[in-house]
Amino acid sequence: MENKIKIEIKNLNFSYDEEKYVLKNINLKIYENETVCIIGENGSGKTTLLLCIAGLLKYEGEVKIDGEIFNENLRKKMGFLFENPDDALFMPRVFDDIAFGPKNFGFEEERIKEIVKESLEKVGLPGFEERVPHHLSFGEKKRIALASIISYSPEILLLDEPTLALSPVSKENFLKLIKSIRATKIIATHDLEVAVETGDRVVLLNKGTIKKVWNKSEVKSIKYLKNFLLKEPGER
């Protein structure tokens, strides 16, 4: 793992209603090309934290990318994979969904065609350019959504429940795909297998606060994490 700090979160707080905080005093450093998995019960703030890092929610505190306070110009360094791929696929053809990012970044038409072809090959769906996204299987939609992100080579991937609702075979293949991508990755997941298999570090969120951070060597097994999660807060 490289030691350059890619993302630094300082004293981050967030509330949807200005009364009850969903995230409280989040402090975390994430290093370049590191994979950090965020685990916790439903409602613990996992997805909200990803949305804050992506600049999609207005929060208190500070998020720095490469030492720079988050701003709109830094957004192009990030790719966000939503839990439901239908939230990301909105074009009539697969080609158009994948080409959307490169077009916005000013690539020429011929280069865009090459990028779409390369992105589909990377996710194992060559030749899908003319397919209709809403006719695809859930697993295929997940792959197309990921292809639409890697098409512009973001340095940071924010992945919200990437294996949710996938079959065992699709899940295994999708995890291999995620692991093969060189980027700084933050994965919000309830699937402890994902955390054990992919995480360089695992962060436990509980009621909006960071309760525990493990290095890879400290995460002994899925059972270890599950037993820890089953303990009462006061026992941790």
Chain segment 177-193, per-residue pLDDT in tens: 999 999 999 999 999 99
Percent share of the chain, pLDDT over 70: 97
Q: Which amino acid is at 69?
A: I
Residue 42 counted as domain residue: yes
- pLDDT-derived band at 235 (thresholds 50, 70, 90) equals very low
Residue 131 counted as domain residue: no
Q: Which amino acid is at 199?
A: G
- Residue 202's DSSP bridge partners are 37, 214
Residue 220 counted as domain residue: yes
For the segment 61-81, the average pLDDT, to the nearest whole number, is 93
CATH of the domain at 164: 3.40.50.300
pTM: 0.92
- Output phi, psi for 21, to 5 deg: -80, 130
Residue 217 counted as domain residue: yes
Residue 105 counted as domain residue: no
Residue 98 counted as domain residue: no
The number of folded domains in the chain is 1
What is the model's pLDDT at position 220? Answer: 78
Nearest to 96 by CA among 51, 48, 130: 130
CA distance 63 to 85: 26
Residue 218 counted as domain residue: yes
Residue ranges making up the domain that contains 52:
5-85+155-235
Contact 59, 25 (CB under 8 A): no
What is the model's pLDDT at position 236? Answer: 39
Q: What is the pLDDT of residues 42-55, one digit of tens each?
A: 889 999 999 999 99
Residue 18 counted as domain residue: yes
CA distance 113 to 226: 45
